[in-house]
Amino acid sequence: MSRTVNRRVVVYIEGEPRRFFLGLRVRHAIGYRHAWRVERGEAVVEDGHGNRVDLDGALYDGERLTVRPAAPEGSEGVDPGAELP
């Protein structure tokens, strides 16, 4: 009988470390409310380098994710200092 090892990764969400099983997606890490806002275009998810990340993207060990409000139409980029309600 083979033994299956549960691999876990540590992902930092808004600076807080959280442990997830390997194979989960960004939407699982940020939670239902933030995922709903991203789907509606009210927010975006960025990695530690400021790149936008898709909700169905894979989680990697040591990854840093931040949820930010989306920029209003007609403006450039996302306000890095803004916080979600």
Residue 24 one-letter amino acid: L
Q: What is the pLDDT of residue 72?
A: 76
CATH number of 8-69: 3.10.20.30
Spans of the chain below 70 pLDDT: 1-4, 73-85
Q: What is the pLDDT of residue 52?
A: 95
Q: What is the pLDDT of residue 81?
A: 59
Residue owning tokens 């807080």:
16
d(CA 79, CA 49): 15
In sequence order, the 6+-apart residues with CB closer than 8 A to the CB of 78 are 44, 46, 68, 69, 70, 71
> Which of 72, 58, 64, 57 is CA-nearest to residue 22?
58
Residue owning tokens 């979600």:
84
